[in-house]
Structure formats: C-alpha cells, structure tokens
Structure 1
Amino acid sequence: MKPTASTTGTVIHDVFRRAYERGDRPALVDLRGGHVYGYRRLVTEVTRAASGLVRRGARRDQVVGVHVSTAGAQTLATHTVLAAGGVAAPIDPALKPEEMAAWLRACDARTLITTPDLAETAIQAAEASRVRQVISLGPALDTIDFRTLLTLEPTALPALDAKRQDALVLAGGRLSHAGLLGRMAELDLPVRLAESDVVLATWLPDGGCDLLALVGLSVSKGALVVAAGGADLPGTSYDFSVTVVTGPGGTLERVR
C-alpha cells in the first residue's frame, strides 16, 4: 500500500514520496532498538499499520499518544498515526504514570502506542485516562501487538488537508503538518542534507519534535540516520562514515 495523492503537502508525502524508488537502501539504523529500516520497509510498515489502525477504529484528527524509548519506534509509531489521519502526542518516557495519565486526559487520547520496556507504565496511565487501546511495538502483557495491525485487511487511508491538519500535540500547543515541515527545513539550513549524508543522532525520544523532525528530514532527503540512543558510541562515527551530527539545543553540525 502506497501513500495516496490525498497526502500531498503533508509530512507523510514529503517524507516518503521517494521511499519506494529508494528500495532497500538503509534509511534508519536504530542501534538502541536493534533494527535497520530500509526505505521500502519503512514506508510499507507505516502505511500497512496505518490501515490497520483505521480498521481498529482510528478516526481523522483523533489523538494517539506515542510513548516509546527508541528513535525507530518513535518514527514508526508517529508516521503510522499521521498516515491514519490522526494527531500524534509524543510523551516523555521519564514521566510517571500519574503525570502521563494527566497528559493523556488533557489531549483526549483514545489510543496509546508504546514499547515493551515502557508497557507497564503505559498500562497504568491508560487505566487512569480515556485511552481505550494500548498498542506495543513488541509483545507486552495487556497490549495489542503492533504487528497485528500489519495483518488486517487493507483499507483506504483518509484524505488529509495539508492546510489545516494538525500533526502533533506538544506541551506548548499543537503543531500542524506545515509547522513540522517548517521545523525540518530549519534543521536543514546549516547542513543542507543530501543522499550521500550519514547523520548520527544522539537525541532520545521525548515530549518534543526535534528527533521526529530530524528523522523525517533525513528520510525525505534520502540520507541515512544512525540513532545512537543518547550517546556517540565509541567507533560509531568511524564505522558509519558519519558526515552530520546532532548538537545541543536542537541543532545539526556538518563534520565532513
């Protein structure tokens, strides 16, 4: 299933419009999560999972909490939500269950996507909110396995209005598709990413949008992201011939 023409001008269109033609080239190496996502695999899983989410009752503009611990999980979960017409609410994994439940209630989230290592906290928070289903990117007690979404009968994805559709709910307010694309463009200004670039990302998933914008920017440009999960592991830059690194304050720096 490919993104439809109705996604034109949205984050999904800008990030994945050339993903199929890039085939099995690696798009994201998630060192902490232990996964390598090729371009075709990434866009295929996003669109199939989005279809499954719609099958399970997701509706346009519905808020879905994203409570995950790795860059790969955040990328897959958030873009699945956006492709399904929803609004993703990134959640800081450091939040306590009661803090997380309060945020879910404030967002009026009805679905929550998490990872197995955070599932216990996610379940506790869901029980104290209006969340009706918790989906885990891997087996976890009392959750729906994300892989189940990939097996459901495909259905059409909703048309998206690029001019009015929100993409994210953040602590500071809502961010539209245009706003997230703007953050991607802002990150790109000092480095001008190209297909030959390898970006070392040491940022972790949190309640903000910088890591999402970075991965989205890199995929849209055909570059490779190596997500190191909080630290530049010894030898990583050399092993992957890194050309761009993340810096403090949500900035990128070209190193070669």
Structure 2
Amino acid sequence: MTWTELVMSAAPGRGDRPAVTDVRTGEVLTYATFVKRVTHVAGGLRRRGLRYGERVLVDLPPGAAMACAVHAVAWAGGVVVMGGRAATRLAILQRGRDMEAQEVITYEPTPGFTRFIDLFGDHTVEFGPLAGPALTLDGDRVLTHEELAGDLRRVAGRMVIGKDDVVLLAVTDRFKALRAMDMALTSGAHVIVAHDPTLIGCRVLAGEHNATLVVAPYDLARRLLGDPLLRVIDERAFVSSLAL
C-alpha cells in the first residue's frame, strides 16, 4: 500500500464524517470529499501533462488545501517539492507570484494564473503509482512512497490516534503538519487546523471543537501539558524516524 493509498484507506468507512476543518477558511472537508478532490485534482494534473516522477512545487499553508494538493500530486505519479523556490514546470501556490515554473496554479483566484478549482473535472485517477518517489523537502533527498507509508505505520505503533479523536493541529512547519494530518487521516480522526496558534488560541479552539489531542511545537506543547482533558504530542514525533 503506497503513502497516499494508506492516508485514504480510512475514507470508505468514514464517508461523510469530517476529515479536516480549516479554521482560517472555515472549510470542513469530509473523508469522501477528500478522496474525491485528490483523485480529481490528480486527473487535472495529468491533463496538464504531469509525467511520472516529475517534480511539482507545492507551497501552501497547513490546511485542507495543502493535504489535497500534496496527495493529488503523489497520486498522479508526481514528486511533491515542499521546500524553497525550486524550478519546476508546475507549481501550486496560495496566490500568484513570479516563479520560474511554466504554469502556476493558485488556490486563491489570481488574475493571470490557473485556478486550483480548474483542476477538477470529469477525469479522475482511480489508481495511483504502485511505488516510487513521492516527496522531497530540499530537492536532494527524495522520500519514496514506501518510506513515507512505512514511517506512518511506525508512528502508529507508538502513538494511538483513534477514529473518535479530534486532533487540534497547532503546527506551522508544513511538513510536520502534513505528517500529523496523514497520521490522523489514516486513523479516521477529525483534524482541526489552527493558524498562527497561541496558547490561549489553542485552549479556545480545543474547547470549541471538543478536541481530545493537540499536536504542537515543543514550547507550546509543554505549556499545554497538565490539561486532564487533552493529550499533547510534540510535533517532532511525526518526523523523528525519517532522520530529517
């Protein structure tokens, strides 16, 4: 089972239950919608000529859009680039800006740029790659589907996240946020993505959404410890075994 296939594996049993709630945009993405977006956007990328192993820059803040874009690229057979201003033919950004990419796709409608929503269409990619390269942070080391899926399984073995958990994601590092979302989605949990999280903000959001678990940077996680209603996990736990 590949990385994206593993992340989507809980969807058939979760259906219309919430997968990701994005506090910044107010968007609530269900499991069924998550899979639909990943497979449809993958089809849109293929229509734009994405080739197996081709690199695509994804520069989006942690949230529902980032999860969909990253996994759509991987499902289409591309390699996600999450670091720097890499020179790629395709780039998916929050809003348009001058890039070396031949085609820039923006999540926020921006004059002169392809809209992310325009990738949706009748064509879907029903089956992703069986294996192979999937993601790079620095353009040098490429993580494969096998590495990313295997690491998720190792993480699942040492921290229990269940389908009834509501996970408050208070993480600004995009890759760590992605890995925490991956783990929660694999488990069938509901992820609440906080933006510019603070101690008070986390406590307010945890109360509003009945969160059972918080993932946060070390300093914030340490200050949240002691709440009898919340489990707290340091964000580093989700990438520690990848030797990054």
TM-score between both structures, scaled by the size of structure 1 = 0.78
**Structure 2, gaps ≥5 residues long:** 232-244
Change (3 A) 1:16 1:228: same
Quote the residue 2:145 is aligned against.
177
Does the 8 A contact of 1:23 with 1:39 survive in 2?
yes
AA of the residue aligned to 1:237: A
Distance 1:205 1:226 in 2: 15
Match status 1:215 vs 2:194:
no
Paired residues, number: 221
Match status 1:114 vs 2:93:
yes
Identity among equivalent pairs (%): 29
The match for 1:136 among 106, 118, 128 is 106
Aligned ranges 1:230-245 → 2 under 5 Å: 230-232=196-198, 233=201, 234-245=203-214
SS of the equivalent of 2:120 reads: helix
Aligned Cα RMSD in Å? 2.4
Distance 1:65 1:250 in 2: 30
Distance 1:212 1:78 in 2: 9
**Structure 1, gaps ≥5 residues long:** 1-8, 93-99
TM-score between both structures, scaled by the size of structure 2 = 0.82
The match for 2:16 among 4, 24, 45 is 24
Quote the residue 1:166 is aligned against.
133
Aligned ranges 1:1-256 → 2 under 5 Å: 9-91=1-83, 100=85, 104-105=86-87, 109-116=88-95, 119-120=96-97, 124=98, 126=99, 129=100, 131-151=101-121, 153-154=122-123, 156=125, 160-162=129-131, 165-171=132-138, 173-206=141-174, 209-232=175-198, 233=201, 234-248=203-217, 255-256=230-231
- Where in structure 1 do 4 or more consecutive aligned residues deviate above 6 Å? 250-254
AA of the residue aligned to 2:104: V
AA of the residue aligned to 1:142: G
Out of 189-198 and 131-140, give the one that drifted further.
189-198
